[in-house]
Structure 1
Amino acid sequence: MSKRNEIGTFLLRVMLGLVFLANGVSKFQGGIENTVGWFDSIGIPGFLAYAVGTIELVGGIAMILGVGTRIVSLLFGIIMIGAIFTVKLPDGFLNGYVYDLVLLVLAAHIVLNGSKLLSLGQLIFKGREA
C-alpha cells in the first residue's frame, strides 16, 4: 500500500474508532439498562445491548490505537448490518440507514486492507498485519 493510501486508511481507522467509541460511551453513560430496554422494545434480546456497547467502547479504543483492527472492524460491520436490517431499513436510505451504511463501508475497507500506520498492533506483532 502506498504511503498516501496508508495515511488515508489511518484517518479512516481513527474516525471509525472515534465514532464507535462515542456511541459505546453514550450507551453506558445514561445507564446501559436504557439500551437494554430499548433493544427489548424493538424485539432484540436485551442482553445484546451489553455486547454491542462493549464492542463499541472497547473496539473504538482498540481501533484508534490500531490493535486488532481487522477483527474489530468485522465486529463493527456486523453491528452495522444488524442496525440496518433491524432498525433503520424501514426509514429509507436518507432518513434511515445512510450513516450506518457509510460506517459499514469504512469497516469493510479496514477488514480488507488493515491499517499499519501508527498502529500499536504493528509494534506488538512486528510486521504482521494489525
Structure 2
Amino acid sequence: MRKNNDLGLLILRVTIGVLMLLHGIPKLSAGLDFIKSMLVEKGLPGFIAYGVLIGEILAPLVILIGFRTRIAAAVYAFNCLVAILLVHSSELFSMGEHGGWALELIGLYFFGSLALFFTGGGNIAISKNNKWD
C-alpha cells in the first residue's frame, strides 16, 4: 500500500477542525460571559474573551478548508495554551478519572495543531503554494 501524506494531513485537518468547532460553536449561542468573568477574576481584561472565537471558530474553519493552514494552526495552538494556563493549569500533571492524562483532549488539539504548523495543510487544500500553507 502506498503512503499518502496529503490524505493524512486532510484527515488531521478535518479532525481537529471539526472537534474544535464543536467545542467553540456553543460559545456563540451561550455567550462569552463565563470566559469574561474568569479573565477579570484573574486580573485580565474581559475583551480578551473574544479571542476564543478566533481560536475556536475562525482558526478551525480556516484549517478545515486548508487556507493558510500554518498561520491558523499557530493561532489554534496558542488558543490551546491559553486555555491550559487559564483553566486547566491545576490538571497539568494529573491523571484522568479513568486513566490517561487529565488534559489528553486539549493535548491532542494542541499537538495536532502544532503538527499542522510544521507540515502545512498538504495538497488537498484550498491554498497550497504560499509559505504559510
Q: Please, what TM-score do these two structures have when normalized by structure 2?
A: 0.80
Letter in 1 for 2:61: I
Note the alpha carbon deviations across 1:23-82, whole angstroms, 9 max, x for none.
Answer: 221111112334322333455432111012233211111111111110010011111112
* Root mean square deviation of aligned Cα: 2.1
Q: Percent of pairs identical after alignment?
A: 22
Letter in 2 for 1:101: G
Deviates more, 1:40-49 or 1:50-59: 40-49
What SS does the aligned partner of 1:15 have?
helix
Bigger relative CO (Cα 8 Å, ≥ 6 apart): 2
**Is it true that 1:120 corresponds to 2:111 in the alignment?**
no
Structure 2 unaligned blocks of 5 or more: none
Letter in 2 for 1:102: L
Letter in 2 for 1:109: A
**Is it true that 1:32 corresponds to 2:38 in the alignment?**
no
Instruction: Give the conservation status (yes or no) of the 8 Å contact 1:84–1:101.
Output: no
More helix by share: 1
- Give the whole-Å Cα distance in 2 for the aligned partners of 1:57 and 1:102: 17
What residue in structure 2 maps to residue 103 of structure 1?
Answer: 109
Structure 1 unaligned blocks of 5 or more: none
What SS does the aligned partner of 1:121 have?
coil
